[in-house]
Structure 1
Amino acid sequence: MIIGLVVVEALIMNAHNLKDKRSVLKSVITKAKQRYNVSIVESSHQDVWQRAEWSIVTVGNSRTQAETEIRRAVSIIDNHPDTEITSINWEWL
């Protein structure tokens, strides 16, 4: 069993207040949870309206399987029209 953790930091374009930011966060989190076997949560920058940090975690039988699920979830963030990823940090347990 392997546990994969990724911390993704991103800028949220076109967010003019926290309500705009929350809309983008909710969209990303809902899509990732529904489509892939991951847990995702906003882990930092809760009060900053143009920055976000997500922590994405999955458990798999192999590193390849876990990495595939996480990469798919990260692609949701990357392909969202209002987000621009600034950093990605991977950890394996």
Structure 2
Amino acid sequence: MIVGLMTVELFIGEANTLKDKRRVLKSIIDRIRSRFNVSIAEVDHQDLWQRATLGVAVVSNETNHVHQMMDTVIRSIESNGGAELIQYSTEIL
């Protein structure tokens, strides 16, 4: 079993309140969950309204598949207009 873990830092420039931030994040998280078979959740910076950290987990039996899924998730987040990707890091277990 191969597990891929990814941490994604986002800047949400249009958010002026936590409610705005939650609206943008809910859209991103729901879209990622519905399109890809991954687990995703906000894991840090819950009290800041223009910054968010998402945790993503992928489980597979092939390392290449894990890499492909994480790359696809990153491309999908980047293509979203509501948030700007600051940085991300990946780890394969």
TM tier, shorter chain?
over 0.9
TM normalised by structure 2 equals 0.95
Which 4+ residue blocks in structure 1 deviate beyond 6 angstroms?
A: none
2:79 corresponding residue in structure 1: 79
Residue by residue over 1:39-89, the C-alpha shift from the partner in whole angstroms, topping out at 9 and shown as x without a partner, is 000000001000000000010111110111122222222111121111111
Matches within 5 A, 1:1-93: 1-93=1-93
Deviation digits for residues 15-49 of structure 1, max 9, x if unmatched? 01001100111001001111101000000000100
Higher mean alpha-carbon deviation, 71-80 vs 24-33, is at 71-80
Q: How many residues align?
A: 93
3-state SS, counterpart of residue 48 of structure 1: coil
Q: Distance in 2 between matches of 1:91 and 1:83?
A: 23
User: What is the one-letter code of the residue matched to 1:68?
Assistant: Q
Cα distance in structure 2, aligned partners of 1:69 and 1:37: 9
5+ residue gaps, structure 1? none
- Return the alpha-carbon distance in structure 1 between the equivalents of residues 15 and 63 of structure 2: 35
Report the TM-score, using the length of structure 1 for normalisation.
Answer: 0.95
- 2-structure distance, mates of 1:16, 1:8: 21
* Residue ranges of structure 2 left out of the alignment (5+ in a row): none
**Which secondary structure state, in structure 2, belongs to the residue aligned with residue 58 of structure 1?**
strand
Q: RMSD of the TM alignment (CA)? A: 0.9
